[in-house]
Amino acid sequence: MRISAKSEYGVRAMVRLARQFGDGPIPLSQVAAREKISLDFLEQLMLLLRRQGLVHSARGIHGGYLLALPPSTISVGDVMRAVEGPMVNMPCLDRGEGDDPCCTMGIHVAGCATRDVWALLQEKITQTLDGVTLADLCQGQPLLPLHQPALLRELSLLAQ
Amino acid sequence: MRISAKSEYGVRAMVRLARQFGDGPIPLSQVAAREKISLDFLEQLMLLLRRQGLVHSARGIHGGYLLALPPSTISVGDVMRAVEGPMVNMPCLDRGEGDDPCCTMGIHVAGCATRDVWALLQEKITQTLDGVTLADLCQGQPLLPLHQPALLRELSLLAQ
DNA sequence: ACTAAACACGACTAAATCAGTGGGGATTCT
DNA sequence: AGAATCCCCACTGATTTAGTCGTGTTTAGT
């Protein structure tokens, strides 16, 4: 489950645009140079973001890109969906509950057990990524106020 | 962010072993046939699971694999970590907080803003996957008791 | 009008990863 | 002895990724 360069670059670039929200169009050449991202590659990403309505573009000599909405209304999830499609790519999740099962386990009559895990995972990931906005990333505040050490599975289960 | 066949097959195979927990070693040929997984590929996965101590193996004519622990003590996260390493593969997360930054943004003096998102994501994914055990998947109960529609970001933020 | 700086957009490509195959062992039961 | 099983590593074909390239179009400034 790795995070692609598309997502990473997309978010980095959008955070940069967010920091300069209100300053008019920012040329990609500037973003690419400061973020150390290939300009050609970044252009492809911005095109996708524009088509999703997350940014506006201006052509010509003083052109560039700018956020189409305030930073607090654009989530990391929005950016990632725009540049790389569905957040969790598991084909069986796209099909309806009643359709052909993804995996022919034949044990559970109604629905495949493992499919539920991927559905749950997708939901949690979406919630997490949609819960962080570009504005959050512009401020220096930590997103993880209390860091929860890894081996407390039992506790978190109880809490749930 | 797609889920690899390693993870999917690994979990499917482990669920099957969980269903037959207590029956002694199950030959992989059986698991592979019922789950429609390539036997050769599955062997590689089981080897990894064994090295992590999640299963035991028995060689010889009535050999096979069996869970090393009760199904309720093995999580989906355990299985995925065994077969495909860290749950979120973002190189900068592996390095310490003080090390060389992954991305040279140079804005935040202490730590990179986008890195925090990936760290948060990793934490949520780990919590989710470690919160579901093989025993949970053997029972028919749904993992998503109340399905939360996608567009309630504001609500979930308030709740947080 | 000309030019330079910027976006628009599709085609191409090298490298990496994934998923699966194959082959030659070692071990154990009958 | 022989068959079924795990053990382990090397290889391969297909796909995806992360770019690169080339050719436009638009706009501001001179």
Lowest mean pLDDT across A97-101, A115-119, B121-125, B129-133? A97-101
Of the listed ranges A58-62, B101-105, B122-126, the least confidently predicted one is: B101-105
Inform me whether the C-beta atom of residue A20 falls under 8 Å from chain B C-beta atoms: no
Cβ pair B146, B29 in contact under 8 A: no
Residue B14's nearest CA partner among B58, B72, B88, B59 is B72
- Worst-scoring range by mean pLDDT, A70-84, A98-112, B41-55? A98-112
* Contacts of residue B117, Cβ cutoff 8 Å, sequence gap at least 6: A11, A76, A129, A132, A137, A143
**Residue A58: CB less than 7 A from any atom in strand C:** yes
Nearest to B119 among A2, A127, A144 (CB): A144
Confidence of residue A95 (pLDDT cuts 50, 70, 90): low
Question: Which helix (H) or strand (E) element contains residue B136?
Answer: helix B134-138
Is the pLDDT at B125 greater than 90, yes or no? yes
CA dist A57 and A17 (Å) reads 12
Å between B120 CA and nearest CA of chain A: 7
Instruction: Considering all nucleic acid strands, name the nucleotide whose C1' atom is nearest to the C-alpha of residue A46.
Output: C7
Q: What pLDDT does residue A114 have?
A: 85
Output phi, psi for A58, to 5 deg: -130, 130
Cα-Cα-Cα-Cα torsion B27, B33, B36, B41, nearest 10 degrees, comes to 40
Give the pairing type, strands B64-67 and A55-58. Answer: unpaired
**Residue B125 and residue B132 in contact, taking contact as beta carbons nearer than 8 Å:** no
pLDDT tens digits along A50-65: 999 999 999 999 999 9
Cα–Cα dist A28/B59, whole Å: 60
Q: What is the mean pLDDT of chain B?
A: 83
Give the pLDDT mean for B109-137. 87
Tens digits of residue pLDDT in B21-75: 999 999 999 999 999 999 999 999 999 999 999 999 999 999 999 999 999 999 9
pLDDT band at A150 (very low <50, low <70, confident <90, very high): very low
The Cα–Cα gap between B33 and A156 comes to: 37
pLDDT of res. B156: 47
With CA atoms as reference, report the closest residue to B107 among A132, A144, A35, A41: A35
pTM of the predicted protein model? 0.85
8 Å CB contact of B89 and A34: no
- H-helix segments, A2-56: 5-19, 28-35, 39-51
